[in-house]
Amino acid sequence: MSFRNRLRFEHQLAALVGLLCLALVAVTVGGAVWLERRSTVRLAEARLARLAAGMAESLDTTLRERFREIQVVAGLEPLRERWTGDPAMIRGVLSAMRTTAPDYAWLGFVTPDGRVRVGTEGLLEDLAMNGRTWFETGLAKPNVSDVHEAVLLGRRLVRTEPEPLRLVDLAAPVRDAAGRVIGVLGGHVSWDWAIRARRRLLDEGLAGTDLWVLDRRGRVILGPHLGTAPFGPARLGTMVEGGRGTFAAVIDGETRLAGFASAATGERSGIAGGDPGLGWIVVATRPEVQAFAPMQRSIQALLGLGAVAALTGIALAWGLGRRAAAPLRRMTEAADRFGRDADATTLPRLDGAREFVALSAALRSLLRRIGSVERELSDATQRSTRVAAYYRRQIEDLRQVAGTDVLTGLLNRRGFIKPAEDAFVQARGGRCGVAVLVVDIDHFKRVNDQHGHDAGDAVIRHVGDLLAEAVRGTDTVARFGGEEFVVLLVGLGVTEAAQISERLCLAVRGAGIAHGGRVIPVTVSIGVAVLSGQDADIQAAIARADAALYEAKARGRDRVSVAAASAAVGRAA
């Protein structure tokens, strides 16, 4: 009877310890797999969200710049009396716009009766535009239309893309000095710009990634399966309301992770006179299987280690159970002392039954192994802390590089945002005045054509150096792209800003740039605007300075033009 009871107790003890070990291993491995999976999903979704946001930003930037150009040129005062004059002169202006921005497939001036008076390269001249939405709306206000297939231009333009020519229409009314509408300036932007932007982002992304652009009704306007609606009304409504986010969905029979971002067109983007918005949504997707592929080996290793640990635990439990034929009272007392004595670090060596002595030795060895594992864990924690600190420094360095223009070493458009917003807050608090200079190198294309792009780069660097040297340490100089610079002057009014601008023009004009054994004469035109109480943000002041720059160029270049404080010039944010 006693032998049977002892055997039953040993089996019960072995089963209890074995189950405990299995549960611990299962929870540990399951938790590690769950954390790894969640981390992988979040990382993949974050990458897809950034990719979608990058595509949305590319769409916004191009459409914003083209729409601003149409409005600015349509409202240029020097051209008001010339729209109805010599067609060759107007054709030259439109050709220059198209040369500066090759995204335009066509630019034209349409008279109020609907006839195309002037078109780039003579295209569509004398054709009637009556009934076309962009023209009819353009008689009243600036407008942007959604993507559509080219009807007239599709048969007249040479294509470099395999897809049919599609266009985004832009238009703005042209008024004479008395404010009467004398026509509409229209521009057809080729959708090829969006195709190229999508291709570039996909080439830089991970394998299996795809990019779609949806219109406001959820139909694909860029990407595979054009014209289809891959998402239902509920999903589409969530994306429209959220603006940006991530989700997972079954698409074409497979589960895909997705990130989305809304393209902020129309009024939401700050386009002056725009409609409520085109409502484009960019969706970046990647198969869930491919996203999880890198973690498969980690999961397999965890499962393997868990199985080994579980088997080891079961074996130890069985061995311990077989050796548990010891007086329960002495074992309980020894264990009780270990639990109550804070200074106890191991079990004592006890005499008595051979089984208990063996159990005592095994437990002492187990505790020593736990101490060793704790030390290894502490070392691993210290190493991970150092690695995390290293990557934080790397990320900080990358952020700094992202805000710097590579060619000039000045801030770029991204890096300019923070000091500009800080200056706007100071000006709103009444602590100082803020002036904005938009500087553009005159005839820069001529420098590239006559002297080469190396000379053009040298001119940009030299002008950037002159601007940086001429301003104070509290001021900010940034290169916005191409040959355009923006200077932020803090604590100055319109008079001081205009004087500084004149000195900058004089400094650039008198410098001359030596390149390839020749001296290249360079001049700049500068638009000046001072932040006023009517400006909603710093971008409004930049827009007014930009409009003043156009006026300076229209008046002959190599000069300064100051924007009126109350002028309201539209500039998309």
Q: State the pLDDT at residue 360.
A: 66
Q: How confident is the model at residue 307 (pLDDT cuts 50, 70, 90)?
A: confident
The answer to whether residue 573 scores a pLDDT higher than 70 is no
CATH of domain 9-318: 3.30.450.20
Question: Is the per-residue pLDDT at 430 higher than 90?
Answer: no
Give the mean model confidence (pLDDT) for residues 320-343.
Answer: 57
Of 567 and 250, more confident: 250
| pLDDT classification of 324: cutoffs 50, 70, 90 | low
Residue 533, pLDDT score: 79
- Backbone phi and psi for residue 402, each to the nearest 5 degrees, phi listed first: -65, -25
Residue 17 pLDDT grade (very low, low, confident, very high; cuts 50, 70, 90) = low
Model confidence band, residue 137 (pLDDT cutoffs 50, 70, 90): very high
CB burial of 508-546 (b: ≥16 within 10 Å; e: otherwise) equals beebebebeeeebebbbbbbbbbbbeebeebbbbbbbbb
Q: State the pLDDT confidence band at 185, using cuts at 50, 70 and 90.
A: very high
pLDDT cut 90: percent of the chain above it: 34
Q: Has residue 329 got a pLDDT over 60?
A: no
For residue 287, which of 251, 328, 337, 234 has the smallest C-alpha distance? 251
The pLDDT score that the predictor gives to residue 214 is 93
The pLDDT score that the predictor gives to residue 303 is 75
Domain ranges in the chain? 9-318, 323-399, 413-562
Q: What is the pLDDT of residues 84-128, one digit of tens each?
A: 889 999 999 999 999 999 999 999 999 999 999 999 999 999 999
Q: Is the pLDDT of residue 486 over 90?
A: yes
Dihedral class, residue 27 (left if φ above 0, else alpha if ψ from -120 to 50, else beta): alpha
What local confidence, expressed as pLDDT, does residue 423 receive? 84
pLDDT tens-digit map of 442-453: 998 988 888 888
Task: Kindly write down the DSSP assignment for every residue of 442-481, as one continuous string.
Answer: TTHHHHHHHH-HHHHHHHHHHHHHHHHHHS-TTSEEEEEE
Which strands make up the sheet holding 560-562, listed edge to edge? Answer: 476-481, 484-490, 434-441, 524-530, 560-562
**442 to 296, 448, 460, 501, 524: CA distances (angstroms):** 58, 12, 11, 15, 5
Tell me which of 144-158, 367-381, 501-515 is least confident.
Answer: 367-381
Assign 284 a pLDDT band (cuts: 50, 70, 90).
Answer: very high
Work out the pLDDT band at 38, boundaries 50, 70, 90: confident
* Domain at 413-562, CATH class: alpha beta
Q: Tell whether the model's pLDDT for residue 527 goes beyond 60.
A: yes
- At 154 the pLDDT is 78
Residue 369 tokens, joined: 């192994």
CA angle 450, 452, 454 (to 5 degrees): 145
DSSP of 197-245:
HHHHHHHHS-TT-EEEEE-TTS-EEESSSTT---S-HHHHHHHHHHSEE
pLDDT for residue 558 is more than 50: yes
Which pLDDT score is estimated for 155? 81
Task: Decide if 483 is catalytic.
Answer: yes
Compute the average pLDDT of residues 159-178. Answer: 88
pLDDT of residue 330: 57
Of 36-40, 63-67, 414-418, which range is least confident? Answer: 36-40
pLDDT for res 572 = 29
Q: Taking 70 as the threshold, does the pLDDT of residue 199 lie above it?
A: yes
DSSP per-residue codes, 474-486: TSEEEEEETTEEE
- Both structure tokens of 128: 């009637």
- Please state the rounded mean pLDDT for residues 540-549: 92
Distance CA 194, CA 187 (A): 16
Q: For residue 267, is pLDDT > 90? A: no
Residue 341 has a pLDDT of: 63
- State pLDDT tens for residues 348-373: 665 555 666 676 677 667 666 755 76
Of 45, 69, 483, 551, the active-site residue reads: 483
Report whether pLDDT(14) > 70. no
**What residues does 438 pair with on adjacent strands?**
486, 527
Which pLDDT does position 220 carry in this prediction?
Answer: 93
Could you tell me the pLDDT band of residue 311, with boundaries at 50, 70 and 90? confident
Q: How confident is the model at residue 276 (pLDDT cuts 50, 70, 90)?
A: very low
Averaging pLDDT over each range in 228-232, 305-309, 524-528, 568-572, which range is the top one? Answer: 524-528
Q: Is the pLDDT of residue 331 over 60?
A: no
Alpha helices (H) along 76-205: 87-100, 133-138, 192-204
pLDDT at 106: 95
Burial category of 31 from C-beta neighbours within 10 Å (exposed 0-12, middle 13-18, buried 19 and up): exposed
Query: Rounded CA gap, 383 and 334, in Å?
Result: 38
The predicted-structure confidence for 58-84, as pLDDT tens digits, reads as follows 898 889 999 999 999 999 998 988 898
Mean pLDDT of the chain: 82
The whole-number pLDDT of residue 380 equals 72
